[in-house]
Amino acid sequence: MGSSLGLCLGKAPSSSQLFLFFAMGSDVQPGTEMEIIVEETVSVRDCLKLMLEKSGLQGDAWHLRKMDWCYEAGEPLCEEDATLKELLICSGDTLLLIEGQLPPLGFLKVPIWWYQLQGPSGHWESHQDQTNCTSSWGRVWRAASSQGENRMRFQQPVHNKER
């Protein structure tokens, strides 16, 4: 009572397989999800490859996130060598293909904006030639261009002082 039964074309998943929904991006519209059947022992990396192949997408600048209970993108599946079973992914879950490569373990990806200062003449000063800036605390900023965006990398010097 109150249940619906749907008939799907094809072979039903075995007890060791997962029936998953997946969609591209975090703004999922109804009816845009795709379906895939994978072994529960498949790694996150291999599942991502299968989903990219099925959706016709290419490249290695993608990662997976599990959709949470309120249909929003949850935490990324960072452990690419972990199996879906180890990460408690179940049949019926929805995974999201999100563009952008995750940083290596132990690193953070922090957006930084570079604002140009207005000079005394009223013109904006160019900072394009500056590749290293040192602050008064001895921290080093390095400018790097990545896919048309200006990004900064911050390196904190290591101090070996015993107290």
Domain holding 76: CATH number? 3.10.20.90
32 in any annotated domain: yes
Give residue 149's pLDDT: 44
**Percent of the chain's residues with pLDDT above 90:** 35
* 145: in domain: no
* Domain presence at residue 77: yes
Statement: the pTM of the whole predicted model exceeds 0.85? no
pLDDT band at 69 (very low <50, low <70, confident <90, very high): confident
Q: Which domain, by its residues, includes 67?
A: 17-99
Q: Is residue 33 part of a domain?
A: yes
Q: What is the 3-state secondary structure (H, E, C) of the chain?
A: CCCCCCCCCCCCCCCCEEEEEEEECCCCCCCCCEEEEEECCCEHHHHHHHHHHHHCCCCCCEEEEEECCCCCEEEECCCCCCECCCCCCCCCCEEEEEECCCCCCCCCCCCCCCCCCECCCCCECCCCCCCEEECCCCCEEEEEEECCEEEEEEECCCCCCCC
**In the structure, what pLDDT confidence band is assigned to residue 103 with cuts at 50, 70 and 90?**
confident
With respect to residue 59, please indicate whether it lies within any of the assigned structural domains. Answer: yes
Domains held by the chain: number: 1
